[in-house]
Chains A and B, each alone.
Chain A
Amino acid sequence: MNREEILKKTVEVIYECVPEMEGTELSEESVINTDTAIDSMGFTMVICRLEGIFGIKIPDRQWTKLSTLGDVISAIEKQLKKQGRLA
Chain B
Amino acid sequence: MRFGSFSEMTGYYAERTPDSPALVFEEGGSVKALSFSAFHGRIRERAEELKSAAVLGAGSGAEGPAGVRCVGVFCTGSLDCVVDILAAARAGFQQVLLDPMASDELLKEQIGLSGADMLLGDEDLAEEFEEFLRPAGQAPDLKAGRILFFTSGTTASARAVALSEASLCCSAYNGGSLLPLDPSDRLLLMLPLNHVFGFVCGLLWPLSCGASAALGRGPRHYADDMAFFRPTAVSLVPLLLGFLLKNGLLNEELRLMLIGAGECPPALIRAVKDKGIRVSFGYGLTETSSGLALSLGDDPYALTVCPDDEIRIASDGEIMVRAPGSMMEGYYRDPEATARAFSDGWLMTGDLGLIGEGGRLWITGRKKDIFVLPDGTKVYLPEYEAKLSEVLAGRDFALFMKDGAVCLAVSGGKSEEDGIAEAVLPLMKTLPRGQQIRRILMTGAIPRTATGKVRRWALAEEVN
A51-75 vs B, CB cutoff 8 Å, 1 = contact: the mask equals: 1000000001101100110000000
B345-389 vs A, CB cutoff 8 Å, 1 = contact: the mask equals: 000000000000000000000000000000100000000000000
User: Which of B218, B219, B220, B425 contacts A31 (CB under 8 A)?
Assistant: B425
Complex contact A64–B239 (CB within 8 A): no
- Bound-state CA distance A64–B106 (Å) is 12
A residues in contact with B437, CB < 8 Å: 34
A residues in contact with B433, CB < 8 Å: 33, 39-40, 43, 64
B191 to chain A minimum Cβ distance, whole angstroms, is 13
B218-231 vs A, CB cutoff 8 Å, 1 = contact: the mask equals: 11101100000000
- Bound-state CA distance A31–B432 (Å) is 12
Interface residues of A in 32-57 (CB under 8 A from B): 33-34, 37, 39-41, 43-45, 48, 51
Q: Looking at A43, A64, A68, which has the most chain B CB atoms within 10 Å of its CB?
A: A64
Complex contact A33–B223 (CB within 8 A): no
Q: Is B330 an interface residue (CB 8 A)?
A: no
A residues in contact with B101, CB < 8 Å: 60-61, 63-64
- Bound-state CA distance A40–B435 (Å) is 11
Complex contact A44–B438 (CB within 8 A): no
Q: Which residue of B lies closest to A52 (CB)?
A: B220
B residues in contact with A37, CB < 8 Å: 405, 438
Q: Which residue of B lies closest to A44 (CB)?
A: B219
User: Which of B103, B220, B432 contacts A48 (CB under 8 A)?
Assistant: B220
B residues in contact with A31, CB < 8 Å: 425, 428-429, 436
Interface residues of B in 222-259 (CB under 8 A from A): 222-223, 239-240, 242-243
- Bound-state CA distance A60–B125 (Å) is 12
Q: Which residue of B lies closest to A57 (CB)?
A: B220
Interface residues of B in 414-428 (CB under 8 A from A): 425, 428
User: Which of B100, B102, B239, B429 contacts A40 (CB under 8 A)?
Assistant: B239
B residues in contact with A61, CB < 8 Å: 100-101, 125
B96 to chain A minimum Cβ distance, whole angstroms, is 18
Complex contact B223–A48 (CB within 8 A): yes
User: Which of A40, A45, A63 contacts B434 (CB under 8 A)?
Assistant: A40
Q: Which residue of B lies closest to A32 (CB)?
A: B433
B218 to chain A minimum Cβ distance, whole angstroms, is 7
Given the known inter-chain contacts A60-B100, A61-B100, please indicate yes or no for A33 contacting B436, CB distance below 8 A.
yes
Residues of A participating in the B interface, judged by any CB pair closer than 8 Å: 31, 33-34, 37, 39-41, 43-45, 48, 51, 60-61, 63-64, 67-68
Chosen A-B contacts, 12 in total, with CB atoms closer than 8 Å, are A31-B425, A31-B429, A31-B436, A34-B436, A37-B438, A41-B239, A44-B219, A51-B220, A60-B101, A60-B218, A61-B125, A67-B429
